[in-house]
A and B are shown apart, each in its own frame.
Chain A
Amino acid sequence: MAPQNLGTFCLLLLYLIGTVIAGRDFYKILGVPRSASIKDIKKAYRKLALQLHPDRNPDDPRAQEKFQDLGAAYEVLSDSEKRKQYDTYGEEGLKDGHQSSHGDIFSHFFGDFGFMFGGTPRQQDRNIPRGSDIIVDLEVTLEEVYAGNFVEVVRNKPVARQAPGKRKCNCRQEMRTTQLGPGRFQMTQEVVCDECPNVKLVNEERTLEVEIEPGVRDGMEYPFIGEGEPHVDGEPGDLRFRIKVVKHSIFERRGDDLYTNVTISLVESLVGFDMDITHLDGHKVHISRDKITRPGAKLWKKGEGLPNFDNNNIKGSLIITFDVDFPKEQLSEEAREGIKQLLKQRSVQKVYNGLQGY
């Protein structure tokens, strides 16, 4: 047995050394486990791309290299075919070279003309005319708010491209003075244009990745710079996705807390019960009662709400309100006597103003 173990150990060691020599560890670059889902990979890329962009790290001499590695890692691991090849043979085993430049991958997540550093808008140069912005409402379920998600979108847009010839641009009204005779002048209005290189509008398509971050709030916007409508004399506007959280049949959201209602039978309310609530990602929240549960009773389950947008590790609470299902049929004389005996509760007939807190 010992030589066999040694043999497999040696093989394993050789394999590991082989993979290390064979190229970059894309999983390590993205910071994800080998079993990561495509969603995890996209999320990791998006977060790291913002951090590692060379424009953001002007003092780091290796910034460009790290950024390229990140792009290569995403390109391979986000494609199921390439990922399979990479998992088996390492980077050396990848058949084709890189299909697209890293710039392309980056713009799938952030748009065309650069990106925003943590939310500050790009410089608004008043002199350059801009095309219209487009705001698209993106419907999002509570399940997606809980776990996060990526929505793939195809953007087909008109793009201004160079064309042969010239065109008129910057047309404006100007006053011209013409001399009619000695001492007599006439002022007329004339339309005067400049000459610009000709452009035509051509439809182009690309895929964009919109991230639904866990804990995202209604109305939050995800911009893609330069993906709005074009302007023939200037820059294109932006495309913004506005989150719209849709109603859920079981949970109601209030901030980071979730509210739900449970109907229990009269018997359960008196003698206790055990039950599970299935949460948004499928995990079960267990409820166990052995005391009497009054109608309107609330149960707080800390940590079972939604993740906080700014810190996903903090979760809100799940608040469960119970209501009691009373028997529908009238009780027989026997049953009524039986209940009186069992409960031994004296008649209470308290009259009071419930609406004013008396």
Chain B
Amino acid sequence: MWSAGRGRAAGPALLGVLLALSLPGGRAAKTDAGLVTCGSVLKLLNTQHRVRLHSHDIKYGSGSGQQSVTGVEASDDANSYWRIRGGTEGGCPRGSPVRCGQAVRLTHVLTGKNLHTHHFRSPLSNNQEVSAFGEDGEGDDLDLWTVRCSGQHWEREAAVRFQHVGTSVFLSVTGEQYGSPIRGQHEVHGMASASAHNKWKAMEGIFIKPSPEAPGGHDEL
């Protein structure tokens, strides 16, 4: 049941067929299986610069001094995993597909801090600093990001944007690279306008399949 080489065009189609065969009542599930759901853990690839959203236990030397968020080229770094969760009021139960326009929090799996931005300047490009903030998954209101995509739900194959709820900036990469001690890592910052620099795609991860009883499991008006 392997589906190798996700880059090939046949990949998603073959995967859809395999998933349909492996699931009971496969027909409805075939379309749902390609959606990103709440509770899933994933890596995000910036489609323009080919780096993955990443964080680690290293703080910014300027700006807020909080934990830094960068882009890395490696595909096998466990520090690039982020967990998709809803806001603090709930509304994002495990397995419910994320809707386009829904506000989510991205929690860094290994450090428990949330993707966060605020009115500080980023160190290399002077855009808005993006950091990782909080403790054990709990931070503050500036941890919320709206998923901007076309259609109803966030699809794994789609490139989406993340727009900050509090300051309206888009999560972006424009190519500036750090020196030591994180040589080669790219700066991740917030930018005011939507462009090719702020498109991200779900890559490796642990994707929870939409659960049949979940209220958001099927398209509803």
Please list the residues of chain A having a beta carbon within 8 angstroms of any beta carbon in chain B. Answer: 38, 78-81, 99-100, 104, 108, 131-140, 151-158, 201-207, 228-232, 237, 239
With A78-B24, A203-B5 given, name 4 new contacts (CB 8 A). A99-B21, A134-B109, A152-B208, A156-B6
**A134→B94 contact, CB < 8 A:** no
A205:B25 contact, CB within 8 angstroms: no
Closest 9 CB pairs of A and B: A132-B78, A152-B209, A154-B207, A80-B24, A139-B94, A229-B78, A203-B6, A158-B76, A158-B75
Chain A min CB distance to B10 (Å): 13
Residues of B within 8 A of A (CB): 1-6, 15, 19, 21-26, 33, 39, 41, 75-78, 81, 83, 93-95, 109, 203-209, 211
Q: Could you say which residues of chain B place their CB within 8 Å of the CB of A140? A: 94
In whole angstroms, how far apart are the Cα atoms of A58 and B41 in the complex?
39
A228 touches B75 (CB 8 A): no
- Tell me, in angstroms, the Cα distance from A134 to B79 when the chains sit together: 10
- A207 CA to B22 CA, complexed, in Å: 9
> CB distance B24 to A79 under 8 Å?
yes
Assuming the contacts A135-B109, A156-B203, A205-B15, asked whether A228 and B4 have C-beta atoms less than 8 A apart, the reply is no
- Alpha-carbon distance between A207 and B95 when the two chains are bound, in angstroms: 15
Secondary structure dominating the interface of A? strand
The residues of B that contact A157 with a CB separation of less than 8 Å are 204
CB distance from B47 to the nearest CB of A (A): 15
In the bound complex, how far is the Cα of B6 from the Cα of A152, in angstroms? 20
Alpha-carbon distance between A79 and B18 when the two chains are bound, in angstroms: 12
Bound-state Cα–Cα, A238 to B26, Å: 29
Residue pair B109, A136 in contact (C-beta under 8 Å): yes
Flag if B209 contacts A153 (CB, 8 Å): yes
Flag if A134 contacts B3 (CB, 8 Å): no
Complex Cα distance A146/B23, Å?
Answer: 24
- Which residues of chain B are near A137, meaning CB under 8 Å? 39, 83
Bound Cα distance from A140 to B94, whole angstroms: 8
Which residues from B are CB-within-8-Å of A201? Answer: 75-76
Pairwise interchain contact A134-B78, C-beta atoms closer than 8 A: yes
Indicate if the CB atoms of B209 and A154 lie closer than 8 Å.
yes
Given contacts A136-B109, A207-B1, contact A154 B33 (CB under 8 A): yes
Whether B2 pairs with A206 at a CB distance below 8 angstroms is yes
Q: How far is the CB of B73 from chain A (nearest CB, A)?
A: 12
Name 25 A/B residue pairs within 8 A (Cβ), A-sorted.
A99-B21, A100-B1, A131-B76, A132-B78, A133-B78, A134-B41, A134-B206, A136-B83, A137-B83, A151-B208, A151-B209, A152-B208, A154-B19, A155-B206, A156-B204, A158-B76, A201-B75, A202-B4, A203-B203, A204-B3, A205-B15, A207-B209, A230-B76, A231-B76, A232-B76
